[in-house]
């Protein structure tokens, strides 16, 4: 197999040839068809997330087909298409797992962070955390749904049922959730970095009601705002444009420090919450909705060996939609 490997935080990934891994008990070996590049991968590579497994193969938005199975896994799974998301394993016995909150497990494993991921031709996964995907779907189009879609969906659920939804940071997750919101009959207000007309035009092309820069005042107060940009300064900005009783949802795994702000921004029963990881139930809910809504992911394919270029394009904000590696 070929894999792009991170040996040291802050350094480029290096192409290595390895023996194909063997699936252990309860595991499957997957031949990767496509793997999207997520901002979380940037946080891992840049050192924003502590204690990754090193050396590490990043990547956690994986679409592929099962090539081999380990002990205890039915041979019938061979040849099937699966998706492998960020949540790669949970303990099953902590208070969170037994209370339907496996995303908060005390002893989890995360794909592309604490176990090898999909920036490779092959990957091993826990069969219980490999999601069944449509056989006839385009793997490049499906890949961003495995994190941008799932975390976006969990964030939207946290935002509640309000009609007017603000999305800060109009990238992979926002462009998927904007389509879901439009299908649900909601109004979407898109916020980008000041001067990023490419992102605002992209948002308008998807039918949002309004697009502007963070710090701009939308024409109406919002029922909720979802922050996909990992910028703590956006929290008070979002609170300024959310109605009383509204909510600001921080959808990322990492964010710069939230600045000091006057209590008056929070008063009026406004609230702030974060989103952590995902659950398999989220996937069971989301994929049928994405299909019914006719979600179309906007992707930019890269060869596997060009992953460092894809990461830099994401880091610099040059992408509209999602970067996807094709081995």
Residue 226 has a pLDDT of 98
What is the per-residue pLDDT across 173-201, written as a single tens digit (0 to 9) for each? Answer: 999 999 999 999 999 999 999 999 999 99
CA angle 261, 263, 265 (to 5 degrees): 80
Listed as ranges, residues in the chain with pLDDT below 50 are: none
Q: How far apart are CA 126 and CA 145, in angstroms?
A: 19
The structure tokens listed for 36 are 């999207």
Q: Alpha helices, DSSP H only, in 160-218?
A: 172-183, 197-205
Q: Return the bridge partners of 82, or none.
A: 64, 132
Residue 274 has a pLDDT of 98
State the pTM of this model: 0.96
Residue 16 has a pLDDT of 98
């Amino acid at each position: 197999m070929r894999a792009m490997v991170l040996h040291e935080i802050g350094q480029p990934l290096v192409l290595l040839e390895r023996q194909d891994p063997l699936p252990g008990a309860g595991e499957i070996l997957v031949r990767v068809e496509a793997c999207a590049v997520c901002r979380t991968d940037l946080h891992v590579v840049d050192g924003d997330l502590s204690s990754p497994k090193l050396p590490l193969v990043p990547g956690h938005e994986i679409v592929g087909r099962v090539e081999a199975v380990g002990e205890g896994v039915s041979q019938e799974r061979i040849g099937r298409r699966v998706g492998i998301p960020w949540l790669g394993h949970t303990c099953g016995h902590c208070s969170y797992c037994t209370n339907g909150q496996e995303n908060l497990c005390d002893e989890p494993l995360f794909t592309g962070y604490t176990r090898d991921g999909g920036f490779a031709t092959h990957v091993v996964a826990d069969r219980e955390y490999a999601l069944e995907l449509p056989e006839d779907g385009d793997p490049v189009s499906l890949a961003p749904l495995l994190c941008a879609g799932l975390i976006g969906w969990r964030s939207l659920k946290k935002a509640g049922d309000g009609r007017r939804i603000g999305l800060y940071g109009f990238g992979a997750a926002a462009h998927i959730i904007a389509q879901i919101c439009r299908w649900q009959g909601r109004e979407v207000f898109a916020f980008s970095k000041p001067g990023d007309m490419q992102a605002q035009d992209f948002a308008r092309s998807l039918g949002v009601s309004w697009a502007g820069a963070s710090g701009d005042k939308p024409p109406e107060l919002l029922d909720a705002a979802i922050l996909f940009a990992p910028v703590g300064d956006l929290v008070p900005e979002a609170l300024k444009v959310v109605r009383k009783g509204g909510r600001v949802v921080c959808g990322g795994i990492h964010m710069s420090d939230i600045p000091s702000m006057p209590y008056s921004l929070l008063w009026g029963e406004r609230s702030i919450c974060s989103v952590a990881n995902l659950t398999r139930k989220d996937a069971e809910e989301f994929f049928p909705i994405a299909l019914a809504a006719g979600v179309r992911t906007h992707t930019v394919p890269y060869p596997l060996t060009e992953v460092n270029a894809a990461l830099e394009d994401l880091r610099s904000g040059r992408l509209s939609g999602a970067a996807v590696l094709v081995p």
